[in-house]
Amino acid sequence: MKTKLNKILLIDDSEADNYIHSRVIKKADVTEEIIIKYGAAEALEYLNTKEGEDYPNPDLIFLDINMPGMNGWDFLEEYKKLGKERRKGVVVCMLSTSALEVEQENIEKYNIIESYSQKPLTKEALEHIIQRVHPEKI
């Protein structure tokens, strides 16, 4: 029997998008826990706060690009500073309503981005991402 992901982190300033994406993830039954953060700074604070002896280590992060203040690209700049050991096993997937070519160029610039998907996240897209990046799961 395949196992579920331990934790998925959603980072998006849109309450509606977080609601939709969390429903898709819950219905797909692919993770034990869904963590929602409404901004990049809040997500970084979460990732830098120990839970017991360890820092949170989500299996998958869905990151919105366009957020006020610190956007998705700013988040990635700070996230890279956490170091490879802290990022080990974490897969970052960008989500956006925009399909601008400049974003594709930025995605290629960051080697920590596994995929880019249009919003809203669908069950099929979620399962495809998990099968590709965590084939041992689900």
- The pLDDT value given to residue 99: 62
Tens of each residue's pLDDT in the chain, 138 residues: 478 999 999 999 999 999 999 999 999 999 999 999 999 999 999 999 998 899 999 999 999 988 999 999 899 999 999 988 888 889 999 888 876 545 666 766 766 777 778 899 999 999 999 988 888 765
Whole-angstrom Cα distance, residue 65 to residue 85?
24
Superfamily of domain 5-132: Response regulator (3.40.50.2300)
- The pLDDT value given to residue 113: 77
Domain residue spans in the chain?
5-132
- The pLDDT value given to residue 1: 41
CB 95 within 8 A of CB 62: yes
- The pLDDT value given to residue 48: 94
CB 58 within 8 A of CB 33: no
- Among residues 136, 12, 126, 138, the alpha carbon closest in space to that of 60 is found at 126
- The pLDDT value given to residue 49: 94
